[in-house]
Structure 1
Amino acid sequence: MCGIVAAAATDNVVPVLIEGLKKLEYRGYDSAGLAVLGAEGLERRRALGRVAELCARCEGLAASTGIAHTRWATHGAPAEHNAHPHISAGLAVVHNGIIENYEALKAELLAQGYQFSSETDTETIAHLIAASLKIQPDLAEAVRLTCQRLKGAYAIAVVAEAQPGRVVVAREGSPLLLGVGERGYYAASDTSALLQVTRQVIYLENGDLADLRPDSLVIRRIQGEAGEAVSRPVVLSQLSADAVELGQYRHYMQKEIFEQPEALANTLEMVGGAKSVQPGLFGAEAARLLDQADSVLILACGTSSHAGMVARYWIESIAGLPVTVEIASEYRYRESVPNPRQLVVAISQSGETADTQAALRHARDQGQPLTLAICNVAESAIVRESALRFITRAGPEIGVASTKAFTTQLAALFLLTLVLAKLRGRLSEADEAAHLQAMRHLPVAVQKVLALEPEIAAWARRFANKQHALFLGRGRHYPIALEGALKLKEISYIHAEAYPAGELKHGPLALVDREMPVIAVAPNDHLLEKLKSNLQEVRARGGELFVFADQGCQLPADDADGVHVLALPEHYGPLSPILHVVPLQLLSYHAALIKGTDVDKPRNLAKSVTVE
């Protein structure tokens, strides 16, 4: 969850550290801090809240070596004494992840006389390194010995007053990459923090430790004897600095909602002029591996799991394969029946989602080798660990509430559906051509939906003062109702739930009254008449209806009587979920604006869930 930036360079790195934290603030914003090795030795600055608070405390500070951190609280409440870096005997540590055995380690350190000033697991790492330095005076070796005792997921960066001009970093399970610059070497939790100094990056592997100095870089393995350096390739990042700037928009979420036509066009570029879909879209071995699959298991969390739920309807109806969608954090902890012919699809925006990554490994360890990653980050851990991959080209997504990542995941999953159907002889040439044409038209169709923003903003004003909301959908649009409810909860803090509309009489109808707005997704499909009956049940109980309907649904609006209907520009068949989620994103965004919440950084949440 947290963000790390580190630098060992020939010039002042404090501005680099601060700017890097600003780019990583979406990863955590309970507190921020840095430690540098300057003329006065080791200096630390920490502040509760946003990076701006830390910035005010760093005026006049200058140093050529330093580490910095923005925190999302796991162990220990948000408080300045829990903010990173943590210090012990002249060294400082920043840490992302969770140390599962920290309590036992802390008890050992307390017995040795070490004193703790925080409730964090990170301070344990600092004291352990200090203890290791008494045995092994080289900082890199002391960090390596310490890491061998840690259980859990971590990315760490360490500086020591006695060894200036040097930063030691290590990773196991949590993301960390290096930057190769003209004036030194850098490290960060993701590439966006380093674009200010370099686009040349090195992706560390789990179990790597790196020793950074202004003019040299050495990478070794944590486990085993201290040995020779290992080599990791230098990659030119495709991420641009402009892509992570806010531009003309008020919030990143708004920017990312309106970037969806472009994101979809980029993601589907490979089928733009194609007359057919090919397995090679998912990797060189895709034809052989996908042809072996007799079922599909989708592993994901949060918004990505909603994409997987939509895909279940697509794959089962079009490709004829049975599909199971599992919440990744639940799947790995229950007894399941492995099937070596089951295609395991891991969906993650960042490709570093801890639960999804662990679930993927669990499936693979159980003997399920047919793995596919659908991800927005080409160099991420989940992509590297999968046999096949599809990279969505949504670009960086900064807002915590996922928008363009979700719609591009849906586009990728529909392509997968068509490929699976074609391999099984279930996709006629006419249907394939029709589906491809619909996908090419998607960016234009989404742009038409975005033009409805003024009407949607007016709707938001009608129920932004409510405490609760109910979302309804049927069939493949039920997951879209779930996604709409999640967005409203995330950024407006209005309690929202979603149900299949047919379940109203089985409990949720008891909640409906004049104070409970009901938002319904109404595509013009075979379930429309049944949905209309469900909506009548709501009206009969005095509930106020907000209905997003396709053209031709013939749902009469009566604003005075509490029935509000907004017609989408067109009906879009199987791909309709991609269109219907966009107005729900806008509705949540404008409700949050009215309520005055922090849209991009909602309380208690962070963008990348890289810890359990």
Structure 2
Amino acid sequence: MCGIFAYINCNVSRERRHILEVLFNGLRRLEYRGYDSAGISIDADGDGGLTDLRGLAMPGFCPLVFREEGKIEKLVTSVYKEVNETDLDLDYSFMNHAGIAHTRWATHGPPSPRNGHPQSSGKGNEFLVVHNGIITNFMVLKETLLRHGFEFESDTDTEVIPKLAKFVHDSLMEENKAANGNGGKDIQFSQVVMEVMRQIEGAYALIFKSPHYPNELVACKCGSPLLLGVKEVGEAENRGVFAETELRLAKEGGKPKEFYFASDASAVVEHTKKVMVIEDNEVVHFRNGAVQIYKFEVGKARTASGGLPRPASIERALSILEMEVEQIKKGNYDHYMQKEIHEQPDSLTTTMRGRLIRGGGDKVKGVLLGGLKDHLKTIRRSRRILFIGCGTSYHAGLATRALVEELSGVPVTMELASDLLDRQGPIYREDTAFFVSQSGETADTLQALEYAKACGALCVGVTNTVGSAIARGTHCGVHINAGCEIGVASTKAYTSQIAAMTMMALALGEDTLSSRNRREAIIDDLFNLPNMVEEVLKLDSDMKVLAQELMDEQSLLVFGRGYNYATALEGALKVKEVALMHSEGILAGEMKHGPLALVDETLPIIVIATRDATCSKQQSVIQQLQARKGRLIVICSKGDANVMCPNGGCRVIEVPQLQDCLQPIINIVPFQLLAYHLTVLRGFNVDQPRNLAKSVTTS
């Protein structure tokens, strides 16, 4: 998913060197999202000799644009090389300046400088745009703009946006000139952007920059994440409100402030914790030290007289980030994925803190989920429960489906968000739909949420990100609270999702006396869960040795059953997405229906056979695979090695045993470690897997 970053210094002197470094570092903080090119735009030393439609000199600095294929450091090197060659003054100070930056993950056109962002309206860079998302009607817009004489230089869908902005701006200026002469009212930057928004379709977060509007930026979004950070220079940061009367600083001598736009909080937290998450169809206009926010009305066209609608500015509250700078640093680890695997005891502790009741005295063991307590009765009365997600989040739902059915008595249906949307599967008012997403911004899951809301279902969010689109768009929910996850391959968020959804199942079953002993046993093991994960992490060196044995293999099969069918799918996914090895998770009950044909003495096969209701069936699977000379690796409970492989011939990995419903959290850790070590040994980038991004836009 593309990354957007912008930096504005207002009434505070900042050298170009400082501005460049802030922009570059903002992009570095967004690297984990996945990208294949990067770019920035800053201002030159003087005006660019451009004139407006009236023939008057434009007062702003001409924007400079730098774009490079590949990593951010290549862009940095390229920029400083060009600076030296053109004698651009790095010590030049700006009291006010607006710079934009971008990391691109290619969707339309291959990675290349011409396809990178910012994308331009053409000569003079009269309008520049950075974009996260996809414009679905770009071909229609492109054909229209071509007929009006515009020339296109890139393969991207984004290029239509700055060209459309120029077309809108020039058309409005011509109309204004014809109606009012040169003394007519100026067209505001935000009005131009809203006219562009009326014509584009798709998912987007956009930031616009233009020399027609010096030191101004306009940001807007629909379906892609964007937030604004505010820092008062030299003053303590306090919670505040974006009110027109408060933030409309006078043109002369306003308070020194710095503003940061970013795709997520990781790029902002080192500068400020005071942020505002921008909502869909909001337009944020930075001008003269003021931040004005408008609500774009989708269906509202221009007035009958042809004039532009002028929506009133609205107020928005600032919130304080619950994130520390240390969370976005690797510390003593070599990679973010390694760090996050080893952070799981802490992330699980944080996820469960304050939610588990130990019991004793007059207290009964139980679970307290504040975000769900007012809706539990409604969920229990549901016709069915749907778990909706993508990838790892789907697997987390699958890992907890059986427990939710057991404790609530409500049937649970698993849905991949994209498939649900493709077939427009029926959802009823009597249903409860759970939307599981680490980022809370997954596009397919968001679209499924809108679909379920339109059908009248109760919608529950399970996300790791407070203030995310799913957290805001659902009726209620559970915050996973796993902490910032930088690595593209989800690890600690996955195990925390399972823990959070297990607690949800316990809360749903708390009014059933017959399951009390079962619930209390699970709660006891939840308290012990972080220590058990700590114990599994001691297998790190063993998994590295196994990775060395498997590093040259081409394929890996993983057989799981019951609660651990999800573990098989997720374990195979981890190996697939980071180590770039073909791996397949298979329901062990389906072994005889095709997969058995693949078994021979060369193909490595992992069988998950910890103690649960399907354990004896997994013993049978192991025996059948051994009879066909399968190359077996068995994950079993401590002390069960001789039971599961009585005749030897298997590599055995023993893990601690907990309640069956919690075993997927324990059992996935060896797979995470294996995938990590396989990736390093095979020479691939652990934190930025090929072709993958951290958060996924519409496909």
Q: TM-score, length-normalised on structure 2?
A: 0.84
Instruction: Kindly provide the CA deviation profile for residues 44-102 of structure 1, in whole angstroms up to 9, marking residues without a partner as x.
Output: 11111111111212335576211110011111111221111111142211000011100
**Matched residues, percent identical?**
38
The equivalent of 1:392 in structure 2 is: 480
Match of 1:478 among 556, 565, 579: 565
Instruction: Name the aligned partner's letter for residue 147 of structure 1.
Output: M
Q: Residue 66 of structure 2 contacts residue 75 of structure 2 at CA under 8 Å; is this kept in 1?
A: yes
The equivalent of 1:607 in structure 2 is: 694
Instruction: Name the aligned partner's letter for residue 5 of structure 1.
Output: F
The equivalent of 1:83 in structure 2 is: 116
The equivalent of 1:546 in structure 2 is: 633
1: CA distance, partners of 2:567 / 2:330: 27
Q: Residue 568 of structure 2 contacts residue 608 of structure 2 at CA under 8 Å; is this kept in 1?
A: yes
Instruction: Name the aligned partner's letter for residue 258 of structure 2.
Output: G
Instruction: Name the aligned partner's letter for residue 35 of structure 1.
Output: S
Instruction: Kindly provide the CA deviation profile for residues 95-125 of structure 1, in whole angstroms up to 9, marking residues without a partner as x.
Output: 0001110000000001111111111010000
Task: Tell me the matched-pair count.
Answer: 610
1: CA distance, partners of 2:139 / 2:514: 56
- With 74-83 and 559-568 compared, the bigger mean Cα shift is at 559-568
Q: Does 1:17 align with 2:17?
A: no
Query: Partner of 1:250: helix, strand, or coil?
Result: coil
- Displacement of 1:219 in angstroms is 0.7
2: CA distance, partners of 1:303 / 1:239: 23
The equivalent of 2:497 in structure 1 is: 409
Instruction: Name the aligned partner's letter for residue 211 of structure 2.
Output: E
The equivalent of 1:222 in structure 2 is: 296
Match of 2:277 among 180, 195, 203: 203
2: CA distance, partners of 1:257 / 1:248: 13
Q: Residue 230 of structure 2 contacts residue 275 of structure 2 at CA under 8 Å; is this kept in 1?
A: yes
Q: Residue 369 of structure 2 contacts residue 504 of structure 2 at CA under 8 Å; is this kept in 1?
A: no
Match of 2:98 among 51, 65, 68: 65
- Displacement of 1:535 in angstroms is 1.4
Instruction: Name the aligned partner's letter for residue 583 of structure 1.
Output: P
Instruction: Name the aligned partner's letter for residue 106 of structure 1.
Output: K
The equivalent of 2:268 in structure 1 is: 194
1: CA distance, partners of 2:33 / 2:469: 17
2: CA distance, partners of 1:172 / 1:602: 27
In structure 2, stretches of 5+ residues that fail to align are 47-61, 84-89, 173-186, 233-256, 301-308, 360-364
Q: Does 1:101 align with 2:122?
A: no
Query: Partner of 1:506: helix, strand, or coil?
Result: coil
The change in CA–CA distance for 1:154 and 1:426 in structure 2 (over 3 A counts) is farther
- With 358-367 and 277-286 compared, the bigger mean Cα shift is at 277-286
2: CA distance, partners of 1:373 / 1:114: 44
- Displacement of 1:503 in angstroms is 1.5
Q: Does 1:311 align with 2:427?
A: no
CA RMSD in angstroms comes to 1.9
- Displacement of 1:594 in angstroms is 1.0
The equivalent of 1:517 in structure 2 is: 604
Q: Residue 348 of structure 1 contacts residue 375 of structure 1 at CA under 8 Å; is this kept in 2?
A: yes
- Displacement of 1:36 in angstroms is 1.4
Q: Does 1:364 align with 2:453?
A: yes
Instruction: Name the aligned partner's letter for residue 399 of structure 1.
Output: G
The change in CA–CA distance for 1:558 and 1:576 in structure 2 (over 3 A counts) is closer
The change in CA–CA distance for 1:434 and 1:558 in structure 2 (over 3 A counts) is closer
2: CA distance, partners of 1:95 / 1:288: 43
1: CA distance, partners of 2:328 / 2:510: 38
Match of 1:127 among 163, 168, 180: 163
The equivalent of 1:181 in structure 2 is: 231
Instruction: Name the aligned partner's letter for residue 201 of structure 1.
Output: V
- Displacement of 1:512 in angstroms is 1.4
- Displacement of 1:574 in angstroms is 2.1
1: CA distance, partners of 2:515 / 2:645: 43
2: CA distance, partners of 1:199 / 1:78: 34
- Displacement of 1:274 in angstroms is 4.1
Correspondence list, 1:468-507, <5 A: 468-507=555-594
Match of 1:287 among 376, 395, 410: 376
Query: Partner of 1:415: helix, strand, or coil?
Result: helix
- Displacement of 1:14 in angstroms is 2.0
Instruction: Kindly provide the CA deviation profile for residues 291-335 of structure 1, in whole angstroms up to 9, marking residues without a partner as x.
Output: 432321011000000011112111122322100010001112224
- Displacement of 1:432 in angstroms is 3.0
Q: Residue 369 of structure 2 contacts residue 507 of structure 2 at CA under 8 Å; is this kept in 1?
A: no
Q: Does 1:259 align with 2:328?
A: no
- With 157-166 and 119-128 compared, the bigger mean Cα shift is at 157-166
Q: Does 1:324 align with 2:391?
A: no
2: CA distance, partners of 1:500 / 1:611: 29
Query: Partner of 1:96: helix, strand, or coil?
Result: strand
Instruction: Kindly provide the CA deviation profile for residues 328-386 of structure 1, in whole angstroms up to 9, marking residues without a partner as x.
Output: 01112224332212111000000000000110110110121x11101000110101111
- Highest CA radius of gyration, 1 or 2? 2
Q: Residue 8 of structure 1 contacts residue 185 of structure 1 at CA under 8 Å; is this kept in 2?
A: yes
- Displacement of 1:426 in angstroms is 4.8
Q: Does 1:333 align with 2:422?
A: yes
Q: Residue 657 of structure 2 contacts residue 663 of structure 2 at CA under 8 Å; is this kept in 1?
A: no
- Displacement of 1:154 in angstroms is 0.4
2: CA distance, partners of 1:278 / 1:466: 45
Match of 1:344 among 433, 436, 440: 433
Match of 1:244 among 314, 318, 328: 328
Correspondence list, 1:46-61, <5 A: 46-59=67-80
Q: Residue 555 of structure 1 contacts residue 565 of structure 1 at CA under 8 Å; is this kept in 2?
A: no
1: CA distance, partners of 2:640 / 2:384: 35
The equivalent of 2:220 in structure 1 is: 170
Instruction: Name the aligned partner's letter for residue 161 of structure 1.
Output: P
Instruction: Name the aligned partner's letter for residue 266 of structure 1.
Output: T
2: CA distance, partners of 1:586 / 1:594: 12
- With 122-131 and 273-282 compared, the bigger mean Cα shift is at 273-282
- Displacement of 1:288 in angstroms is 4.2
The equivalent of 2:523 in structure 1 is: 436
Instruction: Name the aligned partner's letter for residue 494 of structure 1.
Output: M
- With 548-557 and 376-385 compared, the bigger mean Cα shift is at 548-557
1: CA distance, partners of 2:380 / 2:622: 43
1: CA distance, partners of 2:578 / 2:210: 40
- With 566-575 and 505-514 compared, the bigger mean Cα shift is at 566-575
- Displacement of 1:456 in angstroms is 1.2
Query: Partner of 1:206: helix, strand, or coil?
Result: coil
The equivalent of 1:158 in structure 2 is: 208
- Displacement of 1:427 in angstroms is 3.0
The change in CA–CA distance for 1:567 and 1:442 in structure 2 (over 3 A counts) is same
The equivalent of 1:141 in structure 2 is: 191
The change in CA–CA distance for 1:332 and 1:423 in structure 2 (over 3 A counts) is farther
- With 400-409 and 134-143 compared, the bigger mean Cα shift is at 134-143
- With 559-568 and 155-164 compared, the bigger mean Cα shift is at 559-568
Instruction: Name the aligned partner's letter for residue 57 of structure 1.
Output: S
Q: Residue 524 of structure 1 contacts residue 551 of structure 1 at CA under 8 Å; is this kept in 2?
A: no
2: CA distance, partners of 1:214 / 1:26: 34
2: CA distance, partners of 1:557 / 1:279: 39
1: CA distance, partners of 2:691 / 2:358: 44
Correspondence list, 1:262-277, <5 A: 262-275=346-359, 276-277=365-366
Q: Residue 378 of structure 1 contacts residue 391 of structure 1 at CA under 8 Å; is this kept in 2?
A: yes
Instruction: Name the aligned partner's letter for residue 155 of structure 1.
Output: A
Q: Residue 357 of structure 2 contacts residue 367 of structure 2 at CA under 8 Å; is this kept in 1?
A: no
Query: Partner of 2:114: helix, strand, or coil?
Result: helix
Q: Residue 32 of structure 1 contacts residue 48 of structure 1 at CA under 8 Å; is this kept in 2?
A: yes
2: CA distance, partners of 1:289 / 1:39: 63
Instruction: Kindly provide the CA deviation profile for residues 210-238 of structure 1, in whole angstroms up to 9, marking residues without a partner as x.
Output: 11246210111222322110111111111
Q: Residue 169 of structure 1 contacts residue 211 of structure 1 at CA under 8 Å; is this kept in 2?
A: yes
1: CA distance, partners of 2:581 / 2:376: 46
Q: Residue 132 of structure 1 contacts residue 146 of structure 1 at CA under 8 Å; is this kept in 2?
A: yes
The equivalent of 1:29 in structure 2 is: 35
Query: Partner of 1:331: helix, strand, or coil?
Result: helix
1: CA distance, partners of 2:528 / 2:212: 62
Q: Residue 522 of structure 2 contacts residue 659 of structure 2 at CA under 8 Å; is this kept in 1?
A: no
- Displacement of 1:558 in angstroms is 8.2
Q: Residue 374 of structure 1 contacts residue 391 of structure 1 at CA under 8 Å; is this kept in 2?
A: yes
- Displacement of 1:425 in angstroms is 4.9
Q: Residue 33 of structure 1 contacts residue 85 of structure 1 at CA under 8 Å; is this kept in 2?
A: yes
2: CA distance, partners of 1:335 / 1:43: 46
